[in-house]
Amino acid sequence: MRRFISDNKEQDFILLFLEKTITEKNLTKSSVYSYENDLKGFYSFLKKKKYSLLFCTYDNITLWIESLKEQSFEQSTIIRKVSTLRQFFNFLFTEKFISTNPMTNIMTPKKNNVLPRFLDEEDVKKLLNYLAVNKDSFKNLQTLLLTDLLYATGLRVSELVSMKLSNLNEDLNSICILGKGNKERVIPLAKITKKILSTYISSPNFLRSKATSGNIWLFPSRGSHITRQAYYYKLKSIAIKSGLNSNHVSPHMLRHAFASHMLKNGADLKVIQYLLGHEDISTVQIYTHINLKDSLEAIKKHPIRNTLRED
């Protein structure tokens, strides 16, 4: 059912779009916030220039994109904002709120092929070993499970912290995740992860937390689940205690490490794509470049190659 749209409140169209998007897509809170923030920023730009949202033109949008570049936004951020705007105007056009779509000839800026930074296997071992040795503390046990699950499954951090007990298979052999676009994926768990998980959910501290948080969340906190930010800072703290540079450690880097190490050890790209929850395999192929670099370095050190005379 459509909400009433007042004549002078163009922002109501943004609310309509957000309502429709939230209803049709299984978006995280952070995704919804990004959509809203992007569109409100665009609306503010139009208002300052005295342009109309419903009569927005190709030139208005290209001017906005140029202004984002002048503000030194990262290329990935500009690409996201343009994508949000494209979805918004597609909605307005489909719903017949506008007669022409100003995004039709707008080209999405090209993505910079910057290789993601990731932790090597020794760094990950340092993190997990420190947490395993110090897991007598419930906070460390929880951080151990979070970190092990993230590295073992490649979950998005938002998927990780918001896991429910219902996501767990009865025998703890796998987890079922409902990701972006309501797409479900089942991810198997290794024996070591299963053991940590079993220890965690049977611990007195977890049972007490579960009771006060509604018996829903795997990582309960104050009536809900722990936040991404809370885990981020926990991981940074553990990185320092493990002797690592905390600037090189984050939940997202662990997700990258999962994908890169899987590929390095022979996993198929399609499998990695499925586990990461990506729709397009091209988003996964960047990890082949990382491992190609490793291969080239290894070839340079090959004992036979080093005995050959270069002509």
- Which tokens in the block code for residue 282? 């091209």
Instruction: Give the catalytic positions in this structure.
Output: 156, 180, 252, 255, 278, 287
Question: Dihedrals φ, ψ of 174, to 5°?
Answer: -160, 165
DSSP per-residue codes, 242-275: TT--GGG--HHHHHHHHHHHHHHTT--HHHHHHH
DSSP per-residue codes, 143-197: HHHHHHHHHHH---HHHHHT-BGGGB-TTSSEEEEE-GGG-EEEEE--HHHHHHH
CA 285, CA 1: separation in Å to the nearest integer?
42
- Which tokens in the block code for residue 169? 């298979």
CA 157, CA 146: separation in Å to the nearest integer?
9
Helix axes 138-153, 228-241, angle to 10 degrees: 100
CA-based radius of gyration for the chain: 23
- The secondary structure element, H or E, covering residue 38 is helix 29-49
Contact (Cβ atoms closer than 8 angstroms) between residue 39 and residue 84: yes
Q: Return the residue matching tokens 């053991």.
A: 195
Instruction: Residue 219: name the closest of 229, 211, 232, 209 by CA.
Output: 209
Contacts 24+ apart (CB under 8 A), 196-199: 196/141, 196/144, 196/145, 196/148, 197/145, 197/149, 197/168, 197/172, 198/172, 199/135, 199/141
In 10 A of CB 153, how many CB atoms?
22
